[in-house]
Amino acid sequence: MSEHPLLRCRGITKAFGGLRAVDGVDLDLGEGEVRGLVGPNGSGKSTLINVLSGHLPLDAGEIALGGVPAAHLQPHRVAALGLARTYQIPRPFASLTVRENVRVAAHFGAHEPRPADVVEEADRWLAFVGLAAVGDELPDTITLHQRKLLELARALATRPRVLFLDEVLAGLNPRELADGIALVHRIRDLGVSIVVVEHIMRVILDLCEHLTVLNFGKVIAQGDPQECLRDDAVVTAYLGADDA
Amino acid sequence: MTRRQLFPPRVALGFLAVVAVLLTIPTLQQRVGFPLYNLIFLYLVFFWITQATSWNILSGYSGYFSFGQAAFYGGGMYTTAILGGRHGWELLPTLPVAAVVGGTIAALTGLLVFRLRKLSGEIFALFTLAVALGIGALVNNWGVLDGGRGIPMGRLDYPAWLGDTTQMLYYLGLLLALVAVLVAYVIQHSRFGAGLFAIRDDEKVAEALGVPTFRYKMLVFILSGMLAATSGGLHAMQVGFISPDGAFGLRIPVFVILMSVVGGRRHWFGPLLGAVLIHTVTDRMAGAGYAEANQIVLAAVLIAATLFLRQGISGRLVERPVPPTVTFVVAFLLAFTVGGQTAIGSAAVAIGAALVVLFLPDRWLRSWRRGTDGDGPPAGADDAAGPAGDDEEPELDRAQEAGR
Amino acid sequence: MLILLQTLATGIVLAGLYSLFAIGLSLGWGLLHTINFAHFSFVLLAAYVTYELSTAAGWDPVVTMVVTAPIGALLGLGLQLFVTTFKIDVFGTLIVTFGLFLIFEAAMAMRWTADLLRLPSEINPYFTSAVRIGPIRVSMLLTIATALAVLACVGVWWLLKHTRTGRGIRAFVQEPEMAAAFGVNYPQLSLVIAGIAGATAGLTGTILGMYLSLTPTVVEVWIAVVFAVVLLGGLANPIGVMGAAFVIGMVESFTRQFADPAMARLMALVVLIIVLVFRPEGLFKRLVQEARE
């Protein structure tokens, strides 16, 4: 872990009733880094994203984005600091066209840098993810794959420094998957730091320089992807104790 | 830096032309001597446009459906009645006070209700209704405000150049309607509007994308309350005798909801269209002595529009602007000249005809076009109308899914 | 001390009337996702029917319940069929039934005019006579209402908790797909609930027909206080409805007795607003928690 990571999380804790869904998680993300966030179902990945994006108030811990404290902020303030996310099940604005969806994001999003022309900015990101042709369609008339790309375009249009991708590549066919991986590489090349939440190991190994493995809300392994996946605790978490 | 134009020349000219024509009508009325009732009728149209538009920038744009329009309308009305009718203020200074009162009621309500953790649309609707009824009960029972006796307006002073009372109402009503419509237009075409539309569709996602949802909801609520209250204050002059039941009853929310739902809630033009339409129909029916039948018809229209016409008439009109407009003009002129109807009667007839044309199935219109001007523009124009019309059904399904 | 007891007693019977009025709405909203604004119209229509049967046909007004309850049930059934046919969402039902409310209001104005109609006291002894418990007097009519309310609320509670129908309904509201897979026939069960809700509207109408001077708009002043009871009670929780009605009834009764009678209704609204701000889910838990937020 570097001295001044872009995103620095310490001791993030969030409980529902008696259950600690996220329990003292430390997570760092460096400038331009791509980090994988994995763990079995119910290990606290979604809760962690919701806490970091400000949707859920955190019970304890510190978050800093670019050195600015980001805990206990409303989600739109977190977005203003440059944190964006996609949703596992796409949530487009149903009555706005694809292009208008991206325009909303371009209008708001991070405070810096402000786009000179929102319309052009939105079109740029539509072209970037390859949705320029369906810009005037309503979201429910495009395919699920396209809706996932729309999630990406919308998140990018907020000019993020940190981007959380919540299973954007799940459920794609091999060809779409290869395109998707290439797209994430292109996003990283823009200088955006990325946290990838994913189940598909190929995606993790292709994309991520570092890995954080969660189980029962705690970090059980952190570091090089290959090493993490050989770690006993990780194997146990995924396969159960008997097979370990 | 390129700046997109807020008012393209065509829109700006359109606004200016309509306002210019409307400004000449009182003078024309005196010169030509057509019935004074036309001026009163137009004032009422302006009044309803203001009320419906003020409701719509909150409830249509942000999706927070309010049943509490009467709180602002009645609040403004009582402000003018108490200051002017009871304490002898001039009319004009009471209107900004009314705006402040309306804005304050909205701000307090918003602070209470938008802080709720899980605020569903139904709770917001009933909460606003409770606020309106609560203020009504307060006014009805508290002697300082009214105490149930009502307040006669008497004669309020206003600058002489505004003409007699009817003309003054006309000019000020037009001004308020213009302000309301411009506010709605500007919001729709601005960053603010983009944020509100996003809130309407998915508030959580909007917030995550950086829309300051609480601030935007408060802002639009206060704007809406100020517009409605100012209009209510002016309307006190038209009503003449102010009573709690009249000011805080269900009539105002019923009509603004009806006008906006029928006209279309997602477009600045919707409430305007709905106000013209519904008021014309109501005026004709009441004139003919069918007040109750009118209420039944309008309520049936509200139900039908809720079930089948998610985008309202304006949604349909955007897809098919020309035929209904032409029909309206032709029918109006025919009814006025050949049919010997009054201006308002002709308008009612023309609206009916235009609505029929508007809702003709797309297929009929296409075959009609092919039949008459076969050598005109080829099929391209028809195709543009076709898929849009066919889209209506999935639209409805989606809206319902979103509500579940 | 006596005044205090008297005020308490008045509050209790007032609460009875409110819970009778609110239970049907609460059931429809919580179990069927129908916010039935037309509930108020059903009540008023039943009140007019009671008036007609008592004055024109000479029935004892209490006996008219054998007619008004079925009428209410039929109206409830009809509305539910309409809602399921057109697949109207919660919010849609609020607007659609609001439209129905306006239609009923106008239709009743056409039939019965805007004049005040009041049952003469010789036909309606329940209004003037009182039940005495020691030195305390409470209105006979409101006592009947309270008895009906307790019957209705406890009955519904028992139905939901301890019968096959009730278990099916609760299962469906919690896990629609699971329940359907286990053979819960929701359309049919929803009609049962809608019928019961409508019948309580009929009963409420008969009581109001004896309690008020009827005009086509007389129910409007009841809207706020009844919705207050519904929201405070926690949706579809019959015991919660009684509890909420008790709170509102007491607030009203005590305001009337010890402060300004005119402010009684206003206080009920204030209570609603305060509770919504601090406990938006109502004073009482929903009997049936929904699957999704």
Predicted local confidence at residue C280, as pLDDT: 67
Q: C105-110 — which CB contacts under 8 Å span 24+ positions?
A: C105/B295, C105/C41, C105/C216, C105/C217, C106/B292, C106/B293, C106/B295, C106/B296, C106/B299, C106/C216, C107/B292, C107/B296, C108/C41, C108/C44, C108/C45, C108/C48, C108/C216, C109/B292, C109/C216, C110/B292, C110/B293
Q: In whole angstroms, give the CA distance from residue A95 to residue A137.
A: 10
- Is the ipTM above a cut-off of 0.95? no
Q: Which residues pair with A35 in a beta bridge?
A: A195, A210
Q: Which of B208, B211, B394 sits opposite A85 (nearest CB)?
A: B208
Contact assignment for B126 to C231 by CB distance below 8 Å? yes
Read off the tokens for B176: 């308020």
Half-sphere exposure of B392 (CA within 13 A, CB side): 18
Report CA torsion sign: B137, B140, B145, B151.
positive
Instruction: Express each pLDDT in A189-201 by its tens digit.
Output: 999 999 999 888 7
Predicted local confidence at residue A5, as pLDDT: 87
Instruction: Express each pLDDT in C237-288 by its tens digit.
Output: 899 999 999 999 999 898 888 887 777 777 877 887 777 777 767 777 766 6
Predicted local confidence at residue A35, as pLDDT: 93
Compute CA distances A218 → A18, A44, A199, A244, C198, whole Å. 15, 8, 18, 19, 53
Contact assignment for B403 to C273 by CB distance below 8 Å? no
Which residue from B108, B31, B39, B24 is spatially nearest to B68, judged by alpha carbons? B108
Distance from CA of B135 to the nearest CA of C (A): 8
Contact assignment for B130 to C109 by CB distance below 8 Å? no
Contact assignment for B197 to A53 by CB distance below 8 Å? no
Predicted local confidence at residue B218, as pLDDT: 96
Edge to edge, what strands does the sheet with A7-16 contain?
A19-29, A7-16, A60-65, A68-69
Whole-number mean pLDDT of chain C?
Answer: 87
Token look-up 């369609």 returns A137
Using only C-alpha atoms, chain B has a radius of gyration, in whole angstroms, of: 22
Q: How many CB atoms lie within 10 A of CB A49?
A: 23
Predicted local confidence at residue C68, as pLDDT: 95
Please provide the distance, in angstroms rounded to a whole number, between the alpha carbons at the two ends of chain A.
29
| Mutation for testing the A interface, residue in B118, B191, B207, B209 having most A CBs under 10 Å | B209
Predicted local confidence at residue B379, as pLDDT: 40
Instruction: Express each pLDDT in B267-290 by its tens digit.
Output: 999 999 999 988 998 888 887 878
Does B191 contact chain A (CB < 8 Å)?
A: yes
The dihedral region occupied by B8, where left means phi > 0, alpha psi between -120 and 50, and beta the remainder, is beta
Predicted local confidence at residue C290, as pLDDT: 54
Residue B39 near residue B170, CB atoms below 8 Å: yes
Q: In whole angstroms, give the CA distance from residue C133 to residue B138.
A: 35
Q: In whole angstroms, give the CA distance from residue A176 to residue B350.
A: 55
Token look-up 């309307």 returns B235
Predicted local confidence at residue B399, as pLDDT: 40
Q: Which of B133, B249, B254 sits opposite C224 (nearest CB)?
A: B133
Contact assignment for B191 to A100 by CB distance below 8 Å? no
Instruction: Express each pLDDT in C126-135 by its tens digit.
Output: 888 888 888 8
Contact assignment for B198 to A96 by CB distance below 8 Å? yes
Instruction: Express each pLDDT in A94-127 by its tens digit.
Output: 999 999 999 999 999 887 767 778 889 999 999 9
Contact assignment for C273 to B141 by CB distance below 8 Å? no
Q: What is the mean pLDDT of residues A152-161?
A: 94
Residue C117 near residue C49, CB atoms below 8 Å: no
Predicted local confidence at residue B367, as pLDDT: 64
Residue A213 near residue A237, CB atoms below 8 Å: yes
Does B310 contact chain A (CB < 8 Å)?
A: no
Read off the tokens for C186: 């929701």
What H or E segment, with its residue span, contains residue A15?
strand A7-16
Walk along chain B (404 residues) and give the pLDDT tens digit of each residue.
445 678 888 889 999 999 999 999 888 888 887 888 889 999 999 999 999 999 999 999 999 989 899 999 999 999 999 999 889 899 999 999 999 999 999 999 999 888 876 677 778 888 898 889 889 888 988 888 888 888 998 888 888 888 888 999 999 999 999 999 999 999 999 999 999 999 999 999 999 999 999 999 999 999 999 999 999 999 999 998 999 888 998 889 989 998 998 898 889 999 999 999 889 988 888 878 788 888 888 889 889 888 888 788 888 888 888 888 888 889 988 888 888 888 888 888 888 888 888 877 777 666 655 555 444 444 433 333 333 333 333 333 334 444 43
Distance from CA of B361 to the nearest CA of A (A): 23
Distance from CA of A156 to the nearest CA of B (A): 10
Q: DSSP of C173-224, one letter per residue? A: HH-HHHHHHTT--HHHHHHHHHHHHHHHHHHHHHHHHHHS-B-TTTTHHHHH
Which residue from B156, B152, B112 is spatially nearest to B246, judged by alpha carbons? B152
Contacts of C270 in chain B (CB under 8 A): 134
Range from A33-42, A56-65, A109-118, C212-221 carrying the lowest mean pLDDT: A109-118
Contacts of A165 in chain B (CB under 8 A): none
Whole-number mean pLDDT of chain A?
Answer: 88
Contacts of B214 in chain A (CB under 8 A): 74
**What does the DSSP 8-state code read for residue A196?**
E
Predicted local confidence at residue B298, as pLDDT: 86
Does B293 contact chain C (CB < 8 Å)?
A: yes
C203-C209-C212 Cα angle (round to 5): 130
Exposed, middle or buried by CB within 10 Å (0-12, 13-18, 19+), for A150?
buried
Q: Which of C35, C110, C269 sits opposite B137 (nearest CB)?
A: C269
Predicted local confidence at residue C107, as pLDDT: 93
Determine A/C contact with 3+ CB pairs under 8 A as the test. no
Is pLDDT at A14 greater than 70 in this prediction?
A: yes
Helices B269-287 and B251-263 pack at an angle, to 10 degrees, of 120
Determine B/C contact with 3+ CB pairs under 8 A as the test. yes
